[in-house]
Chains A and B, each alone.
Chain A
Amino acid sequence: MAEVQLSNVSKAFGKTSAIVDMDLSVPDGAFVVLLGPTGAGKTTTLRLIAGLEKPDTGEIKIGGDVVNGLTPAQRDVAMVFQQYSLYPHLTVRDNLAFPLRSPILRTPEDVITQKVQEVAEVLHIPHKLDNKATELSGGEMQRVSIGRALVRDPQVYLMDEPLSSLDAKLRADLRVELKRIHAELAATLLYVTHDQIEAMTMASHVGVLDEGRLVQFGSPREIYENPKTAYVAARLGQPRINLLPVGLLDDAAPTGAIHVGLRPENIRQGDGKDATVTRVEHLGDQTRLHLKLGEFDVITLTDPHSSLNPGETIRIAAHNPIFFDAEGNRVT
C-alpha cells in the first residue's frame, strides 16, 4: 500500500481543461472519495493516476516514486470502471484470474484458484464462477468487476462509481463490504461517487472538485460542517443546503457576507420569521418541509409524524449559519 501524490497536475483535452493545477496528497491507507458534478474532473483524476492519461504538466507519485513515464501495468494499480468492465468472452472465473495471469504477476495456477475462490465468496458469487460474463445481471457484473480489483494486491485501488449501477439493497451491502475490505487490507483507495451516503460513510477523506480544481480536501465531517465555499457546501447534504440572502432570517452577519448557508437541520421551528408551507414530503424516517420565505424557497426537516399541511404558516429561525461573500467564499 502506498500514498499517492499529485503536484501541479494539469490535463486538457483539446481546448477543454479537465484538470487545472491539482495538488492532492492521499495518505497511505486513506479512503478518499472524490465528489463533484459531471465534468468536474473526477474520472480524469483516476485515469491520470492509473496511467490511462498522461498529464500535460505536473508530477504524479505513487509510494514516493514518480510514475509519469510508467505504463498502467508498471504502476501496479487496480481500477474498477463504471461500466463495461468485464471481458465478455471470458467466464467469471477467467475474468477474476485475468490480472493474476498477467505477465507482470505470473501467479501459479493453484494460487489463482484459491484467490479467485476467496474473492468470489466475499462477493457472494461462487456459484457463478463458471458462467460467461455476459450471463450475469448488472449487479453481479459489477461485483465481479470489484472482485477483479480485489484479487490483486496493488499499491492503490481506484474505483469509478463502482456501485452506481446497483440496486439500493446491494449497494448498501457492498458499501459495508468495501469498508470492511478497506479496513482489512489497509489499502489506499480513491473512489469517485455522486452518492452522498457513500461519501459520508466510507471516506476517511473527501476531495471536492470544481471544473478541474480541487476546492477542498478533508474529512467528511469537516467538509460538511466547515465548507470553504458555497459550492462545497452544496456538494454534501441531502436535501441540499439552503442559500439565502443575508438578513432574511435576521442573522448577525460578518462584514462582506452576501449569502447565508443553512443546512435543513439547522432551521429551528417555533420562533423567528413567518414561512408558508408549500409541500410536505413524508419519507418515513424524516419529513421534509418545503417552505416559502418571502420570495425564497427553503427546505427543512421536521418531525416524521408531523401533521402540517400545505398552506399553513410556521415560524423559522437560523441556527449555526455559514456565511459566504459575493464569490461564494466562506466569511467568518
Chain B
Amino acid sequence: MSAHAINAPTNRQKWVAGTLVIVYALVTMIPLAWIMLTGFKSPADAISYPPKVVFEPTLEGYVNLFTTRTRQTQEFLDANPPENWADEIVRQYDMVIVGPSKFGERFLNSVIIGFGSTFLSVFLGTLAAYAFSRFKIPLADDLLFFILSTRMMPPIAVAIPIFLMYRNLGLSDTHLGMILLYTAVNISLAVWLLKGFIDEIPREYEEAALIDGYTRFQAFYKVVLPQAATGIASTAIFCLIFAWNEYAFAVLLTTANAQTAPPFIPTIIGIGGLDWPAIAAGVTIFLLPVMIFTILLRKHLLRGITFGAVRK
C-alpha cells in the first residue's frame, strides 16, 4: 500500500479541473488553429460566410507569402507553360512568379535580432545577477532599483530620443541597433529574474568548489550555471517573446535592412487586395520559432513562472 495524502484530489475534483483545463486550452487554441487553417484556404474560402471549417486545402497563401507576382497577357501565359506547382497555382489569376518576396529576409532578421538580443540579455543578465547576488557591491540596492526603473514606463515613451540617437549614431535600421535596443529593454527583467534564481543557490556549493581547487570563474561555470539552468531557460523565453513580438520600435527604426517580420506582415495586405491566406501563412510561420523554443524549454518554464515559491 502506498502512502496517500489526505488532501489528494477526489475523482470529482480531478474531473472538474480537467474540464476547466480543456475549456481554457480550447479558448486559447481556437484562434491559433483558425489562423493556421486560414493559411491553407483559398482567398474565397478565407472570407466566406458562414466560415468554412471543411475546405479544400491549397498552398496559395504560402506561395503568395514567399513570392512576388505580376499579371501577364494571355499570349505570354500560353507561350510560357508553368514551370512548377507554385507557378501553376498563380496561373489561375493570370499571374506569373517573378521572384521571392521579402518575407524570407524579414523572417531571418527576426531570428537574428530576436535570438541575438535574447542571448545578449541572458548572458549579461546572468553575469550581473551573479555579481549582485554574491559580491558586496556599493549601492547594490540602488543600482538594482535603477535597473528596474527602466521598466517603469512603456519603452515607446522614449521612442523619439532613441530615434534621434540612433540616427546620429548610425544605428537606425541595423541589426546591431535592434539587438542593442531589445537587450536594453530586456536586461532589467533578466537581471531581476536571474538574481532571484541565483540567490536561491546556496553559496556553499561555490565555496566547496573553490576549496576543491577551482577558481571563482570556474566555480561559477561548473557549479552555478548548471543549477541556474532553469532560471536561464525561463528568462530566455520571456526575453525572446518580447523581442520576437516587438512591433512599435521595429516600425519606427527599421525600413529595409533590419526590418523584422512583425512590421512586414501587415504590408502583405496591400498586395492585390486583402490576401488573408498569405497573412495567416506569415503569422503561422512567425509563430513557429517561439513555439518550438518554448516547447523545448517548457519544463523549465513552469518553475520560471512560480520561481521562488517551489523548492527543488
Does B70 interact with chain A (Cβ within 8 Å)? no
Does B143 interact with chain A (Cβ within 8 Å)? no
Within 8 A of B (CB), among A55-81: 71-73, 77-79, 81
Q: Across the two chains, which residue of chain B brings its CB closest to A105?
A: B213
- A52, A72, A98: residue with the most chain B Cβ atoms closer than 10 Å: A72
A-binding segment of B179-187, B204-212, B263-271: B204-212
Interface string of B40-79 (1 = CB under 8 A from A): 0000000000000000000000000000000000000000
B-binding segment of A17-25, A83-91, A247-255, A318-326: A83-91
Q: Which residues of B contact A99 (CB under 8 A)?
A: 212-213
Contact of A103 among B202, B204, B213, B227 (CB under 8 A): B213
Within 8 A of B (CB), among A131-168: 134, 148, 152
Does B257 interact with chain A (Cβ within 8 Å)? no
Contact of B223 among A83, A87, A152 (CB under 8 A): A87
Does A104 interact with chain B (Cβ within 8 Å)? yes
B213 near A73: Cβ-Cβ < 8 Å:
yes
A73 near B210: Cβ-Cβ < 8 Å:
yes
A295 to chain B, nearest CB (A): 47
Within 8 A of A (CB), among B210-265: 210-215, 218, 223, 226-227
CA A52 to CA B226, docked complex, whole Å: 22
Q: Which residues of B contact A152 (CB under 8 A)?
A: 212
Q: Which residues of B contact A105 (CB under 8 A)?
A: 213
B207 near A102: Cβ-Cβ < 8 Å:
no
Q: Which residues of B contact A103 (CB under 8 A)?
A: 213-215, 218
B209 near A98: Cβ-Cβ < 8 Å:
yes
A98 near B207: Cβ-Cβ < 8 Å:
no
Q: Which residues of A contact B215 (CB under 8 A)?
A: 71, 73, 103
B220 to chain A, nearest CB (A): 13
B211 near A72: Cβ-Cβ < 8 Å:
yes
Interface string of B272-292 (1 = CB under 8 A from A): 000000000000000000000
Interface size class of A (residues with CB under 8 A): 20 to 34
B237 to chain A, nearest CB (A): 21
- B208, B210, B215, B312: residue with the most chain A Cβ atoms closer than 10 Å: B208
CA A81 to CA B210, docked complex, whole Å: 13
B211 near A87: Cβ-Cβ < 8 Å:
no
CA A106 to CA B193, docked complex, whole Å: 36
Q: Which residues of B contact A119 (CB under 8 A)?
A: none
CA A87 to CA B212, docked complex, whole Å: 12
Q: Which residues of B contact A134 (CB under 8 A)?
A: 312
Q: Which residues of A contact B218 (CB under 8 A)?
A: 102-103
B210 near A84: Cβ-Cβ < 8 Å:
no
Interface string of A170-183 (1 = CB under 8 A from B): 00000000000000
Q: Across the two chains, which residue of chain A brings its CB closest to B226?
A: A89
CA A89 to CA B312, docked complex, whole Å: 12
With contact pairs A81-B204, A83-B204 given, residues A88 and B227 touching in the complex (Cβ less than 8 Å): yes
CA A71 to CA B211, docked complex, whole Å: 8
B217 to chain A, nearest CB (A): 11
Q: Across the two chains, which residue of chain A brings its CB closest to B229?
A: A89
CA A99 to CA B210, docked complex, whole Å: 9
Identify 10 residue pairs between A and B in the complex whose beta-carbon atoms are under 8 Å apart, listed by A's number: A71-B210, A71-B215, A84-B204, A85-B204, A85-B208, A87-B205, A87-B209, A89-B227, A103-B218, A104-B213
Give me the interface of A with B, judged by CB distance under 8 Å. 50-52, 71-73, 77-79, 81, 83-85, 87-89, 98-99, 102-105, 134, 148, 152
Q: Given A52-B207, A72-B211, A81-B208, 17 more contacts at CB 8 Å?
A: A50-B211, A51-B210, A52-B210, A52-B211, A71-B210, A73-B210, A73-B211, A73-B213, A78-B212, A84-B204, A85-B204, A87-B205, A87-B209, A88-B312, A102-B214, A103-B214, A148-B212
